[in-house]
Amino acid sequence: MAREKSSTQVIPDVATIPQHIAIIMDGNGRWARQRLLPRIAGHRKGSEAVRTLVESGLQCGIPYLTLFAFSSENWRRPADEVSLLMQLFMHMLEKEVQQLHEAGVRLRVIGDRSPLGNKLQVLIEEAERLTLANQALTLTLAVNYGGRWDILQAVNAWNKAHPTSAHPMTEADLQTHLCLGDLPEPDLFIRTGGEQRISNFLLWQLAYTEFYFTETLWPDFDRVALDQAIHSYQSRERRFGRTSEQCSALGS
């Protein structure tokens, strides 16, 4: 499998449309509370927003979408809410993967799967296998994922593969074992719901990503909201350590 190079080592190409968008989908609970509904109603509405996002991504020609579906810290939430979230995820895998497949979407799941249960793990594996060859868009769901976990598991994987190495690990070595090591780093990071933090999401991969924060709650994040985020991205100058004059001279 080909591995992408880090933006701290090589200056990546900059496209008008972001090639990889990573999103923290925040605000489901508040959306429900504003409507005097249970939190699960917000999560269900949020899953509809994911469908809209994928459709918009296909229309815009965005090759990669990575969504923070469930963090390693979300286990701290009430047990009934965690259970309902897992049921929603299972429902998506059972009912919607075929539609993703027909649309040419490749589905990937990153994170520690061991606590998810056998049935859910099997559904994930089946969905990934079914959609493996699809190329219209790669949809990555981060489930039981944490950025620190990702770096730590990459270090451990490299050490296991090179137990007697006399050479120190390089950035390229680590990149090889990161969950998204074979994808270009995100061009644009979006967080909905008004919070302005990355919450242990893709800590390594967001080194040179453009950040966009919006007050829009995730269930209300539609094509118009996505276009606004992309428009903000298009107004940025992505220098990757260079000066503005250097970028202008190179036409980037």
What string of DSSP letters covers 80-126? HHHHHHHHHHHHHHHHTHHHHHHTTEEEEEES--GGG-HHHHHHHHH
Contact predicate 57/100, CB 8 Å: no
Of 6, 16, 19, 11, nearest in space to 246 by CA: 11
Contact predicate 177/152, CB 8 Å: no
CA dihedral 203, 209, 212, 217 (to 10 degrees): -40
For residue 173, indicate whether it is catalytic. Answer: no
Catalytic residue among 26, 28, 150, 187: 26
DSSP state of 209: P
Classified as helix, coil or strand, 140 is: strand
Tell me how far apart the alpha carbons of residues 83 and 142 are, in angstroms, rounded to a whole number: 17
Contact predicate 84/43, CB 8 Å: yes
Catalytic residue among 28, 74, 150, 187: 74
For residue 74, indicate whether it is catalytic. Answer: yes
Catalogue the active-site residues.
26, 74
